[in-house]
Chain A
Amino acid sequence: MKKTFIVLSLVLGMAIPNIVFASLKIVTTTQDLAAIAKAIGGDYVNVKSLTPGTRDPHYAEAKPSMIRKVFRADLLLLIGAEMEVGWLPAVLRSSRNINVQLGSKGHLDLSKHVQLLGIPDAPVDRSMGDVHSEGNPHYWLDPQNGLKIAKAVSEKLAALDKEYALYYKNNFTKFEKTLTRKIVEWQESLSYLNGKQVVAYHTSLLYLANAFGFTIIKEVEPKPGISPSASHLSGLVSLIKQQNIKWLIMEPYYEKRSADFLNRKTGIKKVVIPQSVGARDKIKNYFDLFDAIVTAFNEAK
């Protein structure tokens, strides 16, 4: 198929990026996965993310440009756990690329390689808001999970591209070393959060809390994905005062009005957490991501 594709392209006189000949084409659903894939794959992979880190990947739309990227991919990395349920199945159905379909060797669902939190212990339905029955899909926000993602990716790359298996393995070892060292630094830097209680906007920061030893006692959203009502906010005001809660953590893309209201009423500090690689221009890789999160906390300290 690749041959036909190349021949057709030449016949049509289309410019083909030279990477087509040299390297494994990886498509990821988020920039976090892209950053990890790049760290492991290095020079031998070409990585593209279908969604930008500035947006909530759950609400992405199945754009034609995504179909084209998936059509050309050798490997698809996804978050899974229903994160991409609204658009990835549609893109895959239109992609006509059998190598990256569910169950194919070029389809890697990273949620199967980490321990998911927030798995409901009873059946859920949509009256409960956006509760994911398989568990909370924001697992990349625990750096220990980043390590598991990197390991799964390096094993997958080694299996798909045996020639460079050792290269991928070495890159993983390097990644593991740096990450392990940095996790200690980050934890030291945020040690003041240990055992503390915070309020979060959405249920998406559970893994971050887990990684740094703090607890999210309440969300600004009354139910996941449901905008806060005035009465819910006033309930939060009394809770924040009563428990003397210092931090409200939220992603950059949520509305700030509720947080500002709570800040005025209680003095709670708003900590805007860049939740993904690419959420800010400066966050280029997975280490930058936690550096930026640590900075965000320290600035609100």
Chain B
Amino acid sequence: MSILFHRHFNKVTCVFICGLSFSSIQAADGLRIGLSGTVIAGGSTEGDAHLGDIQSGGHDPSRNGFSIPNIELSLSGAVDAYFDAQANVVLQINADGETVLELEEAFMVSRALPAGLQLKAGQYYTEFGRQNAMHPHTWAFVDQPVIASRLLGADGLRSQGARLSWLAPTPWYSEVYGGIQNASGETTASFIGVGSGHAHGSDESEGEAAFAEYPLVDRSINGAEDFLYSARWLNGFDHSDTISSNIGISALFGPNNTGQESATQIYGLDLYLKWQPENSQKGFPFVAWHTEVMRRSYEAGDDSNEEHQTLTDSGFFSYVQWGFKPNWILGVRYELASGSEVRHDEHAGEHEDEEPDPLRDSRQRISTNLTYLPTEFSKIRLQYNNDTADHLDGAAHSIWLQFEYSIGAHKAHSF
């Protein structure tokens, strides 16, 4: 059991919980406790009032100056012979300087189902693509990709539900996921979401909640069609001793609240390729390439609504990380996103020359960063973003310096 555990933590637990001499204390068997934190300093040519339009991720830097976008407490362990469980509680200080508490994830996973099956239930990140389920401390950039913020929401798509996955008996790694989750909540932006994507109430000034001018209505949950369904097929390959890749396709189907019948579909393709030479020190050097393409069709309004139409949004991000020497990583990312125009009929006179919607307009972002990892438990990152979008007058430039730390249980080295 103690493989998973550090004496360090026995001590901490002891000081806080029991206050006895640590040599005589064993912490609860196998409970792993970890805390990771981020502080970001920097600024953008966009003022605080509009910064949320370009840094629209819930764990992006939220204002000019200092941000504390993610302090994450993670608890996990085996429940018994049949289940593992994990909870991630996130604290952050939002753009208004208020401390926000969120239950990011809290779920159980089966250990012992037969035939390669695994069940997960609780509050969890929907397995859509690769990026969505990644916790902020594992991101390659200080901010979330634009298209992910737009389609999957500021905080990533996560909700309460259950999913079954099947590890197929193929000669390569192949896993199929199918899930059902509540479609309503703060973190289901493209479905029955609260607000149009900005989490933590940073954008309440716009008044009534709406999606692309369609007011959001109270939608009742009447049956199976009112839930969010997800599907994913992930494949992993070792091409050689030095090159491995993951390729996945994902889909989401669910209701949205611009009507009582309206529905949303999102599709995605994700690719991840990593090269690491045979002799590598601490995992360096390496080159990793991660790309995701996503598309959403959003049925706005019910059939009976005169302005009923389907709005499509699509985009992609693609980045390369080059770990050029031990502890140093150079990253470059390119992103595009755009949404179809909202079509108005003759009653739409009041919509004259409307402002472009920062969450749907045409946008390009180029980012580059340099990361230094003093050890695998700390990280210093400097990033530059160059943004151009319909809602911006010219290019917006942002520079962010991020410091990240992790204490307690050893974080997983995920591929």
Give A contacts to B, CB under 8 Å. Answer: 1, 4-5, 8-9, 12, 14-16, 52, 54-56, 59-65, 67-68, 71, 80-82, 84-90, 93-94, 96, 98, 101-102, 109, 123-126, 129-130, 133-134, 225-227, 252-255
Residues on A with beta carbons closer than 8 Å to the beta carbon of B278: 52, 54-55
> Is there contact, CB below 8 Å, between A5 and B116?
yes
User: B133 to chain A: closest CB distance in Å?
Assistant: 13
B8 closest partner in A (C-beta)? A125
Stretch at the interface among B51-59, B177-185, B234-242, B254-262: B234-242
> Is there contact, CB below 8 Å, between B173 and A68?
yes
User: B359 to chain A: closest CB distance in Å?
Assistant: 33
Stretch at the interface among B107-115, B194-202, B216-224, B343-351: B107-115
A14 to B172, CA, bound (A): 11
Task: Indicate whether A253 sits within 8 Å of B280 (C-beta atoms), given known contacts A86-B411, A126-B377.
Answer: yes
Residues on B with beta carbons closer than 8 Å to the beta carbon of A12: 168-170
The answer to whether B24 has its CB under 8 Å from any CB of chain A is no
Residues on B with beta carbons closer than 8 Å to the beta carbon of A88: 3
The answer to whether B375 has its CB under 8 Å from any CB of chain A is yes
The answer, among B22, B112, B172, B414, for a CB contact under 8 Å with A90, is: B414
The answer, among B168, B241, B326, for a CB contact under 8 Å with A227, is: B326
The answer to whether B48 has its CB under 8 Å from any CB of chain A is no
Give B contacts to A, CB under 8 Å. Answer: 1-4, 6-8, 11, 22, 78, 81, 84, 109-118, 167-173, 175, 234-238, 241, 244, 246, 276, 278-283, 325-327, 375-377, 407, 410-415
Interface centre among A12, A82, A96, by most chain B C-beta atoms within 10 angstroms, is: A96
B410 closest partner in A (C-beta)? A85
> Is there contact, CB below 8 Å, between B114 and A4?
yes
Main secondary structure of the interface of A (DSSP, over half): loop
Residues on B with beta carbons closer than 8 Å to the beta carbon of A4: 114-115
> Is there contact, CB below 8 Å, between A65 and B3?
no
A-B contact pairs, 15 of them (CB 8 A): A14-B170, A52-B241, A55-B280, A63-B238, A64-B235, A65-B172, A68-B167, A82-B3, A82-B410, A86-B376, A87-B412, A96-B110, A109-B3, A124-B8, A226-B375
A71 to B81, CA, bound (A): 17
> Is there contact, CB below 8 Å, between B415 and A62?
yes
B30 closest partner in A (C-beta)? A102
> Is there contact, CB below 8 Å, between B7 and A133?
yes
Residues on B with beta carbons closer than 8 Å to the beta carbon of A8: 115, 169
> Is there contact, CB below 8 Å, between A5 and B326?
no
B110 closest partner in A (C-beta)? A96
Residues on A with beta carbons closer than 8 Å to the beta carbon of B170: 12, 14
